[in-house]
Amino acid sequence: MTNAAPRTNWAGNYTYNAGDLLIPASIEEAQELVRQTQQLRALGTRHCFHGIADSDGIQISLEHLNAITLDETARTVTLGAGVRYGDLAVWLHSRGYAIHNLASLPHISVVGGVMTATHGSGLRNRNLAAAVVGLEILNANGDLVTLTRDANPDTFPGAVVCLGALGIVTAITLQVEPTFEVAQTVYENLSFDHLKDNLRTIMDAAYSVSLFTTWQDHRATQVWLKQRVDDGVAAPAEFYGATRATTNLHPLAGHDPVNCTQQLGVPGPWHERLPHFRMEFTPSSGAEIQTELFVPIDMGYDAILAVETLKNEITPHLHVTELRAIAADDLWMSPNYRRDSLGIHFTWKAEPEAVARLVPQIEAVLSPFGAIPHWGKFFTMDPRVLQRRLPNLTRFKNLIYHYDPKGKFLNEFLENTIYAG
Ligand SMILES: Cc1cc2nc3c(=O)[nH]c(=O)nc-3n(C[C@H](O)[C@H](O)[C@H](O)COP(=O)(O)OP(=O)(O)OC[C@H]3O[C@@H](n4cnc5c(N)ncnc54)[C@H](O)[C@@H]3O)c2cc1C
């Protein structure tokens, strides 16, 4: 089955150069395609904001590989590369299990999310890729290679967040835990002054914490606290001077919260509270561009003040900024490698020229903090600067060479980022 060009990403700000999109019905068909094709890439659910999923040859979609199997003894779930987080979550919950966290949107493919170190929030929660314990990958020869954290401790941490560069992932295995309930409470108007001495404490005030701001008035307009019911739920009327909301809210002031997950402290299953948006709400495209930069959380307050100096340039072009915490991991190409991080995220209006002008300014003011961009979102960082901030880049390139010596999965995105300079 094919799907001819032109195709765009979800946001519509990038048109893929790849020719056909082929949709194999089985692993064997995918294997044949890899063997027969000079240049290709897997396309997930197209939620990246640039050409990371593009290829000079073709793209393949593994959407038909959507089997899910649970191993209750090992406490793991194995899923085909076509499965989205939202589908997995419903399936797992109905069997009494959960994964540790979710991104803001449930429509993202699990494998595509893992490839770029997609994350939710929580000072003690690592990104979603950190839950991966096994991978099945078609390498450039079309051989199906199985890698696990236990059997391949030397290379596994390099293979998980691999930007799609090692090959075509056909299946992935994640750690699971017993299902849990979450209650979500939103507060309004938290002064940034409280972050000076309490950033870690505030980001650790619930299982998952998100601060939203438009950068005006030195404040977070909203604080979303997602508390695990088994940790105990507390929802005092005030939180560091911020006031508890009395109706459901959308992160963007004035927008209808109808598509947002339930708030007001009403307990519900983890997958209906950890994302900000409901699974049933399916945005086919979005009039937005996203950028996110990670800094060490202990430098987070100063980093926030640095971005705030640009507030009058940023706000007119911004829908909203979200600040989240991500715990350190050991994945070589993860922006959270060995550092507890603050993610400073920007949901921009669909104004590519303004975004292209502003992002370098934000990257510049965050340079003293060693900021690393989210691999799936829009960034402009000089590749030499980026490369200096990636302590495992050399061994990651060696790993790519091992799986794909002739560059079958290489693309312009990789050439302009990890190979440039
Ligand atoms: C509305 C929206 C909300 C978002 N929210 C969050 C958030 O809360 N947190 C966060 O961290 N990020 C978030 N993101 C970013 C998103 O999670 C990442 O961009 C993610 O990588 C998208 O995965 P995808 O499959 O949709 O992307 P794609 O662009 O299709 O693919 C991403 C990468 O994975 C590779 N890939 C996909 N499938 C395979 C496969 N089978 N084998 C090998 N490589 C493969 C592709 O080649 C590409 O390199 C959001 C994005 C959007 C648009």
Last residue of a domain, one of 12, 29, 61: 61
State the residue range of the domain holding 307. Answer: 181-383
- Could you tell me which residues are beta bridge partners of residue 181? 269
Q: Which residue lies with its CA nearest to atom 7 of ligand 1?
A: 103
Q: Are residues 219 and 233 in the same domain?
A: yes
Residues in contact with ligand 1 (CB, 6 Å cut-off): 10, 41-48, 52-53, 62, 81, 103-105, 108-109, 111-113, 115-116, 118-119, 163-164, 168-169, 286, 290, 374, 376
Q: Is residue 164 part of a domain?
A: yes
pLDDT at position 274 is: 95
| DSSP-derived secondary structure letter, 274 | S
Q: Are residues 86 and 53 in the same domain?
A: no
CA 165 / ligand 1 centre spacing (Å): 14
Q: Using pLDDT thresholds of 50, 70 and 90, give the confidence band for residue 277.
A: confident
Q: What is d(CA 299, CA 12) in angstroms, rounded to the nearest whole number?
A: 34
Q: Are residues 174 and 186 in the same domain?
A: no
Q: Are residues 305 and 208 in the same domain?
A: yes
CA 51 / ligand 1 centre spacing (Å): 11
Q: What is d(CA 96, CA 237) in angstroms, rounded to the nearest whole number?
A: 33
Last residue of a domain, one of 123, 149, 178: 178
Q: What is d(CA 127, CA 120) in angstroms, rounded to the nearest whole number?
A: 7
CATH number for 83: 3.30.465.10
Contacts of residues 79-83 at CB distance under 8 Å and 24 or more positions apart, as own/partner, are: 79/110, 79/171, 79/172, 79/173, 79/174, 80/170, 80/171, 81/42, 81/44, 81/109, 81/110, 81/111, 81/168, 81/169, 81/170, 81/171, 81/172, 82/109, 83/109, 83/110
Query: Nearest 5°: CA angle at 198, between 196 and 202?
Result: 125
Q: Are residues 249 and 371 in the same domain?
A: yes
Q: Using pLDDT thresholds of 50, 70 and 90, give the confidence band for residue 2.
A: low
Last residue of a domain, one of 61, 79, 109: 61
CB hemisphere CA count around 361 (13 angstroms)? 14
User: Regarding predicted confidence, which is higher, 4 or 326?
Assistant: 326
Q: Are residues 208 and 127 in the same domain?
A: no
How many other CB atoms sit within 10 Å of the CB of residue 338? 12
| DSSP-derived secondary structure letter, 126 | P
pLDDT at position 160 is: 98
φ/ψ (deg, to 5) at 401:
-60, -35
Ligand 1 site-directed mutation target among 115, 135, 172, 292, most atoms within 8 Å of CB: 115
36's enclosing H/E stretch is helix 27-36
> Does the pLDDT of residue 282 top 90, yes or no?
no
Q: Is residue 105 part of a domain?
A: yes
Domain count of the chain? 3
> Does the pLDDT of residue 5 top 70, yes or no?
no
pLDDT at position 198 is: 97
Q: Is residue 321 part of a domain?
A: yes
Round the CA-based radius of gyration of the chain to a whole number and report it: 21
CATH number for 262: 3.30.70.2520
Residue with tokens 């294997």: 31
Residue 127 Cα: closest atom of ligand 1: 11
How many other CB atoms sit within 10 Å of the CB of residue 178? 9
Question: Quick one: which of 75, 60, 307 has its CA closest to 192?
Answer: 307
Residue 48 Cα: closest atom of ligand 1: 19
Q: Are residues 174 and 280 in the same domain?
A: no
Please give the full DSSP string across 197-211, using - where no structure is assigned.
HHHHHHHTSSSEEEE
Q: Is residue 135 part of a domain?
A: yes
Ligand 1 site-directed mutation target among 9, 13, 83, 105, most atoms within 8 Å of CB: 105
Q: Are residues 257 and 379 in the same domain?
A: yes
How many other CB atoms sit within 10 Å of the CB of residue 96? 11
* pLDDT tens column, 340-388: 999 999 999 999 999 999 999 999 999 999 999 999 999 999 999 999 9
Q: Is residue 81 part of a domain?
A: yes
* pLDDT tens column, 103-122: 988 889 999 999 999 999 99
Q: What is d(CA 104, CA 348) in angstroms, rounded to the nearest whole number?
A: 16
pLDDT at position 284 is: 47
> Does the pLDDT of residue 265 top 80, yes or no?
yes
Question: Quick one: which of 315, 320, 306, 407 has its CA closest to 362?
Answer: 306
Question: Quick one: which of 230, 218, 220, 211 has its CA closest to 269?
Answer: 230
pLDDT at position 254 is: 81
Q: Is residue 357 part of a domain?
A: yes
CA 169 / ligand 1 centre spacing (Å): 14
- Dihedral, 382, 384, 385, 387 alpha carbons, nearest 10: 120
Please give the full DSSP string across 197-253, using - where no structure is assigned.
HHHHHHHTSSSEEEEEE-SGGGEEEEEEEEEEGGG-----SEETTEEE-SS---SST
**CA 189 remoteness from chain centre:** 26
Name, in order, each residue with C-beta under 8 angstroms of 393's C-beta and a sequence gap of 6 or more.
Answer: 333, 387, 418
How large is the average pLDDT for residues 331-338? 98
CATH number for 52: 3.30.43.10
> Does the pLDDT of residue 87 top 50, yes or no?
yes
Q: Using pLDDT thresholds of 50, 70 and 90, give the confidence band for residue 279.
A: confident
Q: Are residues 194 and 80 in the same domain?
A: no
Q: Using pLDDT thresholds of 50, 70 and 90, give the confidence band for residue 261.
A: very high
241: alpha, beta or left? (left if phi > 0; alpha if psi -120 to 50): left
Q: Is residue 398 part of a domain?
A: no
Q: Is residue 98 part of a domain?
A: yes
Q: Are residues 362 and 236 in the same domain?
A: yes
- How many percent of the chain have pLDDT more than 70? 98
* pLDDT tens column, 144-182: 999 999 999 999 999 999 999 999 999 999 999 999 999
69's enclosing H/E stretch is strand 68-71
Residue with tokens 């409280």: 194
Please give the full DSSP string across 333-372, using - where no structure is assigned.
T-TTBTS-EEEEEEEEES-HHHHHHHHHHHHHHTGGGT-E
Q: Are residues 311 and 374 in the same domain?
A: yes
Q: Are residues 114 and 260 in the same domain?
A: no
- How many percent of the chain have pLDDT more than 90? 92
> Does the pLDDT of residue 206 top 50, yes or no?
yes
